Amino acid sequence: MKPFILAETNWKTLKEKKLDLAVLPWGATEAHNFHLPFSTDNIMVERIASESAKRATDNGSNVIVLPTIPFGVNTGQLDIKLNINLNPSTQFAILNDITEVLEKHGIYKFLILNGHGGNDFKQIIRELGPRYPKMFICACNWYQSFSNSDFFENGGGHADEMETSVMQFLVPELVLPLNEAGDGIGRKFKIKALNENWAWAERKWSQVTDDTGIGNPKKATPEKGEKCFKEVICRIGDFMTSLSGADINEMYE
């Protein structure tokens, strides 16, 4: 039993326990090239939440990790079989209900740990803030907590060398041999601005990629994945430690 994991602990343990920070891992259920499971985002974000919370707990923090939300925003992938979509409005409803519970129970710091690129919680947090003024709500994309080039030769963003390496390290039994993976070639917009940071449109996934991946996974190794995973745990774990110990009425310097 891990007392910092809500799904594994019990009422006897929690009844009198002081909790400063609740962490909600949020993933997605979607195809990841030919070689990775549909649960890739969920497996990674759940393990990162657990190991980071352990690091924070070992540092003296009072953290509780909530059960992972397994479905994310996949509005651009609705034609790919069994890619499960939650609309942003559904995410808002879920977060509103969870935030209400946390505030009622005196847990005023809430971290949404995101593991899926299609999820974007900024506007939801903006709307929740005035509803729950006692709360400090923030979000973190774990895959942006490090520099990809420090560990991997190729980028991409979906079922690429990074995700494949981490999954090879965490759950090698769920990863097919790399000779069965597609090359992860992603097509770009014909309009130049939409490939840059100042203009945006949602991509139609089945028109962008033939194998559902973006980024070549062929140079992935579990050794690369282990090094990256450990770096992420250090960064996210220390972030949780800082959040847990912070005074939300004194957040600026």
User: Structural domain boundaries of the chain?
Assistant: 11-245
Q: 133 falls in which pLDDT band (50, 70, 90)?
A: very high
In angstroms, the CA 113 to CA 120 distance is 11
Distance of alpha carbon 134 from its chain centroid, rounded? 25
What confidence tens digit (pLDDT) does each residue in 143-188 have? 999 999 999 999 999 999 999 999 999 999 999 999 999 999 999 9
List the one residue out of 5, 20, 117 whose CA is nearest residue 67.
5
Question: Residue 208 has what DSSP assignment?
Answer: H
Q: C-alpha angle 105/110/116, rounded to 5°?
A: 135
| Residue bearing tokens 């090698």 | 172
Q: What is the percent of the chain with per-residue pLDDT over 90, rounded to a whole number?
A: 99
The pLDDT score that the predictor gives to residue 28 is 98
The whole-model pTM stands at 0.96
Our CA dihedral for 118, 145, 215, 37, rounded to 10 degrees, sits at -60
> Mean pLDDT, to the nearest integer, of 72-90?
97
Round to whole Å and give the CA distance between 67 and 73.
18
To which CATH superfamily is domain 11-245 assigned?
Creatininase (3.40.50.10310)
Contact (CB, 8 A) for 119 and 30: no
Region 132-145: mean pLDDT is 98
| Interatomic CA distance for residues 4 and 19, integer angstroms | 10
Query: For residue 135, what pLDDT band results from cuts at 50, 70 and 90?
Result: very high
